[in-house]
Amino acid sequence: MITQLTIRGLAIIEELHIDFSPRLNVITGETGAGKSILIKALHILLGAKADAEVIRHGFDKAFVSARFLLPRTHPAVEYLNENGLWHDDHDLTEIILRREITSKNRSQAWMNDQAITQTTLKELGQNLIDIYGQHENHRMLDPSTHIDYIDQFLEKPQLRQTVVQSMSQALVLYQEIRKQLEQFLARRREQDYLQFRFKELEDFEPSLENYLDITRICAEAQQFMQEQKVLQQLQVIQDESYNGKSLSAAVRDILRLSESSKLIKGNAEMTVVLDQLRDTSSVFDELSYHLGRIVDDQDLSEDDLEAYESRLAEYQRLFRKLGVRTIDELMTEYNRLDTELSSVRDAPDELSLKIKDLLKQLQEIDKSSRQLSAARQKAAAQASKKIEGELHDLNMSGAKINFDFQAVRQTIPDLDLLDFNEETKKNWARCVDILSENARLGREKGQFLLAANPGEGFRPLAKVASGGEISRIMLGFKKILSAGANTCVMVFDEIDTGISGHTADIVGSKLKGLAEGFQVICISHLAQVAAYGDAHFKVEKMQKKGSTESHIFRLDGPQSEAEIARLLSGMKVTSSSLQNARQLISAAQRHEEASVDL
Per-residue pLDDT of the chain (598 residues; tens, 9 = 90+): 899 999 999 988 889 999 999 999 999 988 777 788 888 899 899 888 888 899 998 899 999 999 999 888 888 888 888 888 888 777 788 999 999 999 888 899 999 989 999 999 988 888 888 777 655 666 677 888 889 889 988 999 899 999 999 999 999 999 999 888 888 877 776 666 677 777 777 778 888 888 888 888 777 666 666 656 655 665 565 555 545 566 667 777 777 777 776 667 667 777 787 778 777 777 777 766 666 666 555 555 667 677 877 888 888 888 888 888 888 888 888 787 777 766 667 678 888 999 999 999 999 999 999 999 999 999 999 989 988 888 888 878 888 889 999 999 999 888 888 778 899 999 999 999 999 999 999 999 999 998 888 888 898 887 876 666 777 777 777 777 665 555 678 888 877 777 777 888 888 888 898 888 888 999 888 899 999 999 999 998 888 777 888 889 999 999 999 999 999 887 778 888 899 999 999 988 886 665 544 4
- Given this model, what pLDDT does residue 321 score? 84
- How many angstroms separate the CA atoms of 227 and 233, rounded? 10
- Given this model, what pLDDT does residue 231 score? 56
Pick left, alpha or beta for residue 311 (phi over 0 → left; psi -120 to 50 → alpha; otherwise beta).
alpha
Q: How many CB atoms lie within 10 A of CB 94?
A: 13
CA distances for 544 relative to 34, 35, 435, angstroms: 15, 19, 63
- How many angstroms separate the CA atoms of 334 and 318, rounded? 11
- How many angstroms separate the CA atoms of 475 and 130, rounded? 13
Residue 413, exposed/middle/buried by CB under 10 A (0-12, 13-18, 19+)? exposed
Type of residue numbered 51: D
Alpha-helical regions (H) of 261-301:
262-265, 268-297
Q: What is the dihedral of CA 130, 134, 137, 142, to 10 degrees?
A: -90
Backbone φ and ψ of 246, nearest 5°? -75, 160
Contact 295, 231 (CB under 8 A): yes
* H/E segment holding residue 550: strand 547-555
Helix, strand, coil percent values for the chain (each to nearest 5): 60, 20, 25
Domains, the chain, ranges and CATH? Answer: 1-136+489-555 (3.40.50.300)
Pick left, alpha or beta for residue 132 (phi over 0 → left; psi -120 to 50 → alpha; otherwise beta).
beta
Contact 327, 318 (CB under 8 A): no
- Given this model, what pLDDT does residue 542 score? 86
What pTM does this model have? 0.61
Q: What is the DSSP letter of 73?
A: T
The gap between the terminal CA atoms of the chain, to the nearest Å, is 26
- Given this model, what pLDDT does residue 92 score? 84
- Given this model, what pLDDT does residue 50 score? 86
Q: How many CB atoms lie within 10 A of CB 297?
A: 7
